[in-house]
Chain A
Amino acid sequence: MELARTVLDQQVIDVHDHAMGKVDGVVLELRPGRPARVSAIVVGGTTALWRVHRGLARWAERKLGGEGHPARIPWSRVLRVGVDVKVDTESERSPALRWERWVRDRIIGRIPGA
């Protein structure tokens, strides 16, 4: 539980040390008779929005479909927790960077010199 509170809202970086978002949510596994365990971290989608404003999050989910496609990264792939949370993932293919890719391909990439 302490771990969940520590990693929440920390910066997430991928195997190449590239920023890929924040720990927007934490998935807890409840185990009967034993303390709960962090089973995954959630990056992107509408996860963080749920914590800011429920109505807004519900509206966004209707528009985007599903949960806005967050990346769920199992705890076994978390390499280290320090200044950042480093995970064993290629951010380039991760749904966490969906909007980054969209902005790059549709807007910024089309401007000369990008």
Chain B
Amino acid sequence: MSKLFEIALGIVTGIGGFLETGSLATAAQAGAAFGYRLAWAILLGTVCIAFLIEMAGRLAAVSHHTLPDAMRERFGITFFVVVFAVVSLVSFLVLASEIGGVCLALQFASGVSFRWWALPVAGLAWLLLWKGNFGLIEKGTSLLGLVTLAFVVGALRLHPAAGALASSLLPSLPTHEPAKYWFTAVSIIGASVSPYLFYFYSAGAVEDEWDVSYLGINRLVSGLGMGFGGFVAVAVLVCAALVLHPLGIQVDRYEQIPLILATPLGRAGFVLFVASLAIACFGAALEIGLQLAYLAAQGFGWRWGENLRPREAARFALVYTVALPLAALVILAGVDPLKLTVFSMALTALSLPITVVPLLVLMNDRMYLGDQGNGWVSNAAVLGISFIACVVALVAIPLQLFGGG
């Protein structure tokens, strides 16, 4: 019974935790600019993250190592420092984006500019990490995150054409604005495959003391949780495709974004949009703050654990205590949250080989996995998607930044 409960809870965590500023912004942008056409990118990203999450959980359950711990041990300090720097940088930018997302939601609700919300939001997040425990943070934010299911209701109300949507799950070439099309595609993949997700998951699995009896749960939770999560992201794309695309509204004018729920659901839709944005981004900010601390502590051998008091794991607590206000400063300085988000997601896609390949090497190492190593399907899928996303990002980012499409 308790296993069944854990499966349910895990799936809820996946659904509630999947949508954050990155997937919301990129899916909305894709829908507004290209209709259904980029749905395939969400599918690819979701498949990739489901495999990665499953791997991180399996590594923890079989070898009792968290990901940074195993990487340091397997590849040595020099290589670990490189991965540490890249993952920290990307996660920090995503953290700033999430704080920006909460601030935008508060701006929609109050009319007060997003900049002034940055420090209070970071302060509240810090307080929860300082006082809370792991269960509260992981389960609480993902249960509240279920509010994002409002996008599914909204999408259904708009009566999407099932045939057209299904056919756009297959990759297609752009009909117009090719640079923007590919840039948005890699941003979507980057948003789904944010490294904080699987690093956080691996720390959680060790924190919850998983063993091999959890392998079945792990497989179900990662597959179904991420699957349903991706489904919500597709719903966002559908809402944007049916509300904004016909009107020719681009998402860069973010006053218009709440329309994607306000059109199908009226006044309640506006409230649900603001709540979804605020909760999803705030939950992600908590997870990223923790993940930065996990990464450093597990890689350098410090005491760690969100269930310890701050003074029992001082350096661990120091990381999030510094990271949260620093990320808030980026927003306070007036950086456009939406531009920052999309840029961070593209950068995530670019860095995928560095964040993903070490995990793949570990997953094929019998020293760590014994006979629970990867099969060729998961190896090929993750390697293929990561490299394609990286190459496309390499071409699309400069084109986007220096005015191509």
Residues of A within 8 A of B (CB): 8-12, 18-22, 24, 43, 48, 51-52, 83, 99-101, 103-104, 107-109, 111, 113-114
The answer to whether A83 touches B78, judged by C-beta atoms less than 8 angstroms apart, is no
A-B contact count (CB 8 A): 70
The answer to whether B321 touches A108, judged by C-beta atoms less than 8 angstroms apart, is yes
Given A113-B130, A113-B310, A114-B311, check contact A11 B76 (CB 8 Å). no
Nearest Cβ on chain B to A72's Cβ, whole angstroms: 16
Nearest Cβ on chain A to B118's Cβ, whole angstroms: 20
- Of the candidate stretches B3-11, B62-70, B264-272, B388-396, the one touching chain A is B62-70
Nearest Cβ on chain B to A45's Cβ, whole angstroms: 13
List 19 A-B residue pairs with CB atoms under 8 Å apart, sorted by A's residue number.
A8-B76, A9-B73, A9-B77, A9-B80, A20-B301, A21-B300, A51-B76, A51-B78, A52-B78, A83-B64, A83-B65, A100-B314, A103-B318, A104-B311, A108-B311, A108-B314, A108-B318, A111-B321, A114-B310
Which of A24, A52, A83, A103 makes the CB contact (< 8 A) with B315? Answer: A103
Give the interface SS of chain B, mostly helix, strand, loop or mixed: helix
Count of chain B residues with a beta carbon within 8 Å of a chain A beta carbon: 27
The answer to whether A108 touches B317, judged by C-beta atoms less than 8 angstroms apart, is yes
Which of A19, A104, A114 makes the CB contact (< 8 A) with B301? Answer: A19
The answer to whether B302 touches A19, judged by C-beta atoms less than 8 angstroms apart, is yes
Chain A residue nearest to B78 (CB atoms) is A52
Which of B73, B81, B130 makes the CB contact (< 8 A) with A52? Answer: B81
Distance between Cα atoms of A98 and B97 in the complex (Å) = 35
Nearest Cβ on chain B to A35's Cβ, whole angstroms: 23
Nearest Cβ on chain A to B368's Cβ, whole angstroms: 10
Would you call B72 an interface residue if the criterion is a C-beta within 8 Å of the partner chain's C-beta atoms?
yes
Distance between Cα atoms of A19 and B321 in the complex (Å) = 21
The answer to whether A107 touches B309, judged by C-beta atoms less than 8 angstroms apart, is no
Nearest Cβ on chain A to B79's Cβ, whole angstroms: 10
Nearest Cβ on chain A to B322's Cβ, whole angstroms: 10
Q: Which 6 A-B pairs have the closest CB atoms?
A: A104-B314, A22-B301, A21-B301, A108-B314, A103-B314, A114-B311
Which of B300, B311, B314 makes the CB contact (< 8 A) with A22? Answer: B300
Distance between Cα atoms of A24 and B301 in the complex (Å) = 10
Residues of B within 8 A of A (CB): 63-65, 69, 72-73, 76-78, 80-81, 130-131, 297, 300-304, 309-311, 314-315, 317-318, 321
When distances are taken between beta carbons in the complex, the residues of chain A under 8 Å from B80 are: 9
Given A108-B321, A109-B311, check contact A51 B77 (CB 8 Å). yes
When distances are taken between beta carbons in the complex, the residues of chain B under 8 Å from A12 are: 301
When distances are taken between beta carbons in the complex, the residues of chain A under 8 Å from B314 are: 100-101, 103-104, 107-109
Given A12-B301, A113-B130, check contact A22 B315 (CB 8 Å). no
Among the interface residues A10, A18, A83, A108, which one has the most CB atoms of the partner chain B within 10 A? A108
Given A107-B314, A108-B310, check contact A19 B81 (CB 8 Å). no
Among the interface residues B297, B301, B303, B315, which one has the most CB atoms of the partner chain A within 10 A? B301
Further 10 A-B residue pairs, CB within 8 A, beyond A24-B77, A99-B315 = A9-B72, A9-B73, A9-B80, A10-B73, A12-B301, A19-B301, A22-B72, A51-B77, A113-B131, A114-B311
Nearest Cβ on chain A to B305's Cβ, whole angstroms: 9
Nearest Cβ on chain B to A3's Cβ, whole angstroms: 14
